[in-house]
Amino acid sequence: MSAASPTHALLLATLLFAVGMLGVLARRNLLLMLMSIEIMLNAAALAFIAAGARWHAAQGQVMFLMILSLAAAEAAVGLAIILRLHSAGRPTLDADTGNRLKG
């Protein structure tokens, strides 16, 4: 079994997912949380690609494209919210203040 096998790619995906989750849970900065989510999404994408490579099917890349569009939409909305919060008098980007509804 060569090193560049889907199983090893899955291992990498697992690692990335765990690291991304660590970031989401531990960071308080909204921007950094969003970035960690991107890492998690990429881990999922890698898992799909690896599965596609395992079965030598293009479906893995199809799913990757879906994740890509999901990530794009998520980033757009997330960043818009961050900008909004920032301009609404919460310049700290502190996720823990997100429960205050009024700006």
| CA-closest candidate to residue 56, choices 5, 20, 17, 10 | 5
* Tokens of residue 20, six digits: 């991304």
Write out the DSSP string of 49-96.
HHHHHHHT-THHHHHHHHHHHHHHHHHHHHHHHHHHHHHTT-TT-BGG
* In the complex, minimum distance from the CB of residue 41 to another protein, in angstroms, rounded to a whole number: 9
Q: Rounded to the nearest whole angstrom, what is the least distance from the CB of residue 64 to another protein in the complex?
A: 5
Task: Give the nearest distance from C-beta 4 to another protein in angstroms.
Answer: 4
